[in-house]
């Protein structure tokens, strides 16, 4: 079984602080670890973004330590469980936070869902406005 301190999530859109699904409003509360960047392409889907992993463009997000109960809530918000919608998939990425590597859960959009949608060139959902 994974120790709670070993679970981490990278959030890049509506789960970020102050956004519609702010992860900090969920219980049990996550522990904020800092900002980080991963490589990918961020798309504007109107009320929320979608991230396609890969490439060289940096995407800015927040990293949190979470417990399994909170992970299950995030899966429900992103519609990957209990019955997957097919819009997002759970992925794990390695990122660097405070100079050390960290394995994080991230929710990646199905690339078919972003066809024809505008890119968020800054790689930061909060800068799209």
CA pair distance 38, 49, nearest whole angstrom: 15
Closest CA to 106 of 87, 89, 126, 91: 91
Closest CA to 6 of 107, 104, 93: 104
Q: Is the dihedral of CA 45, 104, 10, 66 positive or negative?
A: positive
CA pair distance 63, 41, nearest whole angstrom: 18
The answer to whether 87 is a known catalytic residue is no
Q: Which of 62, 69, 71, 78 is catalytic?
A: 78
Residues assigned a catalytic role: 78
């Amino acid at each position: 079984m994974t120790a709670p301190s070993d679970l981490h999530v990278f959030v890049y859109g509506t789960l970020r602080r102050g956004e519609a699904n702010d992860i900090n409003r969920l219980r049990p509360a996550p522990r904020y670890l800092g900002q980080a960047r991963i490589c990918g392409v961020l798309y504007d889907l109107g009320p929320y973004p979608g991230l396609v992993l890969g490439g060289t463009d940096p995407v800015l997000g927040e990293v949190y330590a979470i417990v399994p109960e909170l992970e299950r809530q995030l899966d429900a918000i992103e519609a990957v469980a209990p019955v997957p919608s097919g819009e997002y998939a759970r992925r794990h990425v390695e990122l660097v936070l405070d100079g050390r590597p960290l394995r994080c859960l991230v929710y990646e959009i199905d690339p078919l869902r972003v066809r024809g949608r505008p890119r968020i060139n800054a790689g930061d959902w909060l800068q799209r406005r």
